[in-house]
Amino acid sequence: MQALFQFLVRYEFFVYFALGIGIVIALRGMAVAYGSRRAAVFGLERQLASRAFNSSLALIVVLSVLGLMQFCIASFIVPGRPSAFFRLTPTADLLGTPQGTLPPQIATSLAGTPVGNDLPFGVQGCIPGQIVISSPAAGSDVSGIVDIVGTVDIPDFGFYKYEVAPQGSSNWATVSAGREPVRNDMLGRWDTSALTPGDFQLRLVVSDNQGHQEPPCIVVLRVIPSTPGP
């Protein structure tokens, strides 16, 4: 199923083109059959022409349904289930989490990992114009729901994902992902409210359409307690 989804999304234009050609041919067959039925003198000729007309009509209906299914898969099913489309690390099942909220078990795992409060903040691995986290800025304090802004635009782009881990830890948890290039715009959101305050790494991972993963862009941030509302 994963391979089928990848094929339908990657070759979406060609699928529509092939279905369109089929519908045009079927319409031509309907027109010919309709003309033959009107010109038929004998009952057998009319019967054969009617069968040809109905067959062409049925083909149009089938191709139209296939086109609708292609549209639903490419526009709704695949974007709604990125774990079924992207080739990801073992944390891929986290991609179903909406609005950048980590599942409770992952948030608990991260919350229980010791975090440093005296480690230097910084950036590493980012490529200007291709793989960048521009907001939040490295070294900044974040709390609550954080908008992640940046750029993911490499040759033969495939998909991107962003992950978090306590500073100094390799316990990365995938927050969310996307399959469209982004240039200095919203990549997604990250809900920090369930995390223990401290220093965290936020990394942006980008892969091309062959599954080759570029070196990640990493920024270090400090999660602080959310300010209670009035």
Lookup: tokens for 85: 């489309």
How open is the CA angle 80-86-91, to the nearest 5 degrees?
A: 90
DSSP state of 18: H
Q: What are the pLDDT digits (tens) for 28-57?
A: 999 999 998 888 888 888 899 899 999 999
- Please report, in tens digits, the pLDDT of each residue of the chain (230 residues total): 667 776 777 788 888 899 999 999 999 999 999 998 888 888 888 899 899 999 999 999 999 999 998 888 777 776 555 444 444 333 433 334 334 555 544 454 444 444 444 333 457 788 888 999 999 998 899 999 999 999 999 998 999 999 999 988 888 888 888 989 999 999 999 998 888 889 999 999 999 888 888 899 999 999 998 765 55
- The C-alpha atoms of residue 157 and residue 155 are separated, in whole angstroms, by 5
How open is the CA angle 167-88-71, to the nearest 5 degrees?
A: 130
CATH superfamily label, 89-223: Immunoglobulins (2.60.40.10)
DSSP state of 229: P
Residue corresponding to tokens 């909220």? 101
SS3 content of the chain, % helix, strand, coil (to 5): 40, 25, 30
Cis-peptide, bond into residue 136, ω within 30° of zero: yes
Pairing between β-strand 145-152 and β-strand 182-191 as defined by DSSP bridges: antiparallel
Q: What percent of the chain has pLDDT over 90?
A: 37
Dihedral, 74, 207, 157, 205 alpha carbons, nearest 10: 100
Q: Give the residue extent of every domain in the chain.
A: 2-80, 89-223
